[in-house]
Amino acid sequence: MATIAEELARKQKEISVSEFFERNRQILGFDSTVKALIVAIKEAVDNSLDACEEASILPDVSVTISKLDQTEFRVSVRDNGPGIVRAQMPNVFGRLLYGSRFHAIRQSRGQQGIGISAVVMYSQITTGKATHIRSKIAESDVSNDIDLTIDTKKNRPVVVREDHLIWEEGGTRVDHGTLIEFNLGARYVTGKQSVMEYLRSTAVVNPHATIRYTDPEGKVYNFDRATQTMPPKAVEVKPHPYGLEIGTLINMLAYTQEKRLSLFLRNEFSRISDRVAREICEKAMVSPDRRPKDISLEQAKAILAAIAQTKIMAPQTDCLSPIGEALIKRGLKNVLGTLRPEFYAQPVTRPPAVNGGNPYQVEAGIVYGGELPPDQPVTIMRYANRVPLLYQQGACATTQVVGAIDWRRYGLEQRGGTGIPYGPAVILVHVLSTKLPFTSESKEAIAPIPNIMEEIDLALRTCARNLKSHLNKKETKSRAAVKFDIVTEIIPKIAEKTSKILERPVPDISRTITKIMNVVFIEDSVEYDQKKKLTKATIRVRNYTARKQELKVHALVPREYIDSGSIYPEPAEIADDGKIMWDIKKMQSLQTVECTFAMKGLERDDYTENEVYVSDINPATVIGAETLPGDWGIKTFEFEETEEEEADYDEEEGELSEE
């Protein structure tokens, strides 16, 4: 643990205020008293989650708000992170632009080194009170407990009280962690933009974290972790030269340990070889041997221009840490589960892409139905590097893409085919990057950059197609349910009644049944065996037509989990992409065939619905599965002639209002 905390400490190097102002023109996010409360909590929670992840600790974060009077609240945020060494505590919390991440090119929530000090500053300005911080690292026996203010003129922390004590919470000793408590002038609201919403949204994309929230009325909400697995660690990479800004370059030139420009270029950036470094120097007409500290603003600009004209390998993308398809689903279930949604579309994690010099990646998920409100605009959950975005929805790339898609094609309502769709749905979009292009420093909306929007669009459409296929299935099923009711309930009763009236034996109704159904009906079900961790899927094919039938049934299954020995009956083919195909021959009228298979290593809820397709049969005769999408090749069918329909007596609009 020492190594990590100390490592962090080493990196917590000073960033000059001037640099801050060059890069951030305004102080962030505290523009209203309502927002101030949310932003303050967000800064503290973001830091807690960042610190835990860096130290590979499953985060336990508690947030408590107490109301002191109409305008003043006290906030406390506690985590089980690695803690902060005593020497760094004042700087971390009491000095703007003091952070470990400012020069790190890696996906993390914090980027700027100002978040928490800005909170301390805001607290001090609105209440005049000091911030209380307690932190303990595992190596030390006691925690450091300090009260701190900021000398705003000098941008220096002032420790006004200091103590060392044994830290206990609920009777047990705390091994490591950080607690920050502050008062602030604020207003507490509930609703769409509230602390609760922020924490709930945070819980969705951080299924490895447990978050506990105590609201001003003392009510406690627990978001328990849905997985014990830490997200893959995002590796730190050097910046890629594309997308470099002049301010950053100047800073890097000033801080580097390298003595020569060519070495600076090669060692401080990724994807620059000696050859490329020389090429850049040549194009910029700056000597490769020049000391970086001596490079003028003009020369820096020339270097930037030279970089733009030089071919450089795309940045590496392993520095990104997506949530992943399985965990997005689990996170959504964990938080929205109480609303009993009817369907979770299979989430999508797009492969990484590059914008400017920065790798980025898009993830999306859709939740549908259940107790989600049916006649309101859908809820869009926007995330940037696992942080929920609550403000400036309209300005955000995510919202703009959602509004540009014609959702009517995917089963949601939308006036005129643009704008936020209506319906019982939640749309989740997560954009992650080593450097996210926000519309402003307050990190509230992702800038509408065409590349990124295109990726969001692709991710959303894939999810939406999955939703649509579910809705289609549901629709055909409900139509089938009506027919089932007719053949299993009504026809037998009609047969029974007529035979009773006529005092004759009950007629055999099986041929009538096949005439009414006249479909091949496909049902699928999935069971989970908790003990054996086995997911068992069944596809039941029933021939409800009067004729013999032949068809091919296809199931799309995650290849890596299939237990090949379990597939029954013998499949005709198992494709590399995990498609199992059964060739069903000569099914008699009213015969049933069951295709089963099992998957190992999945959690409950990871796989709840089979993706079933059919081919080599007239699609109009099948209910419960769609035809295999065209690219897998299907025979085309002559549609059977349907008999001339007579007018339906009971559906003909009659004007029978008169006696």
Partner 1 sequence: MKNDGEPMSVALEKLTEIAETIYGQLDSGDIPKMSLPLRTKGNIRFDNKTNVWKYGKATGVRSAKKAVGAYMLLRTMHMLEFIGDMISDSKSSTLREMYYISEGWGKAKFNSQDESDKLAEDLEIITKCLREDFKLRPEEDGARVIGNLTLEETDRKGKKKRMNCRDDVGDSGYSVPYNVESDKIKLISHDADFIIAIETGGMFDRLVENGFDEDFRSVLVHLKGQPARSTRRFIKRLNEELKLPVVTFTDGDPWSFRIHASVAYGAIKTAHISEYLATPTAEFIGITASDILNYDLPTDKLSDVDIKALEAELTDPRFRDPFWKTEIETMLENKKKAEQQALAKYGLDYVTDTYLPEKLTQAGII
Ligand X SMILES: Nc1ncnc2c1ncn2[C@@H]1O[C@H](COP(=O)(O)OP(=O)(O)OP(=O)(O)O)[C@@H](O)[C@H]1O
CA dist 171 and 191 (Å) reads 35
Which is nearer to ligand X, 383 or 607 (by Cβ)?
383
Which is nearer to ligand X, 84 or 130 (by Cβ)?
84
DSSP 416-437: GG-SS-BSSEEEEEEEEESS--
The answer to whether the peptide bond before residue 341 is cis (omega within 30 degrees of 0) is no
Residue pair 149/94 in contact by the 8 Å Cβ criterion: yes
- Binding string, residues 37-76; x marks residues near ligand X by CB under 6 A: ------x---xx--x-------------------------
**Residue 112, binding choice from Mg ion, partner 1, ligand X, none, Cβ under 5 to 8 Å by partner class:** ligand X
DSSP H or E run through 332: helix 325-336
Does 641 engage in binding with partner 1 (CB under 8 A)? Answer: no
Which residue do the tokens 């409100």 mark? 373
# residues contacting partner 1 (CB under 8 A)? 38
Site for Mg ion in 99-158 (CB under 5 A): 110, 115
Smallest gap from Cβ 166 to ligand X, in A, equals 20
Site for partner 1 in 478-497 (CB under 8 A): 482, 485-486, 489-491, 493-495, 497
Task: 128-134: list long-range contacts, CB under 8 Å, 24+ apart.
Answer: 129/182, 129/183, 130/160, 130/161, 131/93, 131/180, 131/181, 131/182, 132/179, 132/180, 132/181, 132/182, 133/89, 133/93, 133/178, 133/179, 133/180, 133/181, 134/167, 134/178, 134/179
Does 110 engage in binding with ligand X (CB under 6 A)? Answer: yes
# residues contacting Mg ion (CB under 5 A)? 3
Question: Candidates 114-122, 203-211, 294-302, 602-610 — which segment interacts with ligand X by CB under 6 A?
Answer: 114-122
Smallest gap from Cβ 22 to ligand X, in A, equals 15
Which residue do the tokens 């336990």 mark? 60
- Binding string, residues 4-23; x marks residues near ligand X by CB under 6 A: ----x---x-----------
**Residue 84, binding choice from Mg ion, ligand X, partner 1, none, Cβ under 5 to 8 Å by partner class:** ligand X
**Residue 621, binding choice from ligand X, Mg ion, partner 1, none, Cβ under 5 to 8 Å by partner class:** none
CA dist 195 and 215 (Å) reads 9
Smallest gap from Cβ 99 to Mg ion, in A, equals 7
Residue pair 550/593 in contact by the 8 Å Cβ criterion: no
Residue pair 520/621 in contact by the 8 Å Cβ criterion: yes
# residues contacting ligand X (CB under 6 A)? 22
Smallest gap from Cβ 243 to ligand X, in A, equals 18
Sequence letter at residue 205: V
Site for partner 1 in 502-541 (CB under 8 A): 502, 504, 507-512, 515-516
Beta bridge partners of 537: 526, 597
The dihedral over CA atoms of 505, 510, 511, 514, expressed in degrees to the nearest 10, equals: 150
- Binding string, residues 38-77; x marks residues near Mg ion by CB under 5 A: ---------x------------------------------
DSSP 110-161: --SS-HHHHHHHHHHHHH-PPEEEEEE-TTSSSEEEEEEEEETTTTEEEEEE
Chain residues that interact with partner 1, rule: CB under 8 A: 482, 485-486, 489-491, 493-495, 497-502, 504, 507-512, 515-516, 646-659
Chain residues that interact with ligand X, rule: CB under 6 A: 8, 12, 43, 47-48, 51, 79, 81, 84, 92, 99-101, 110-117, 178
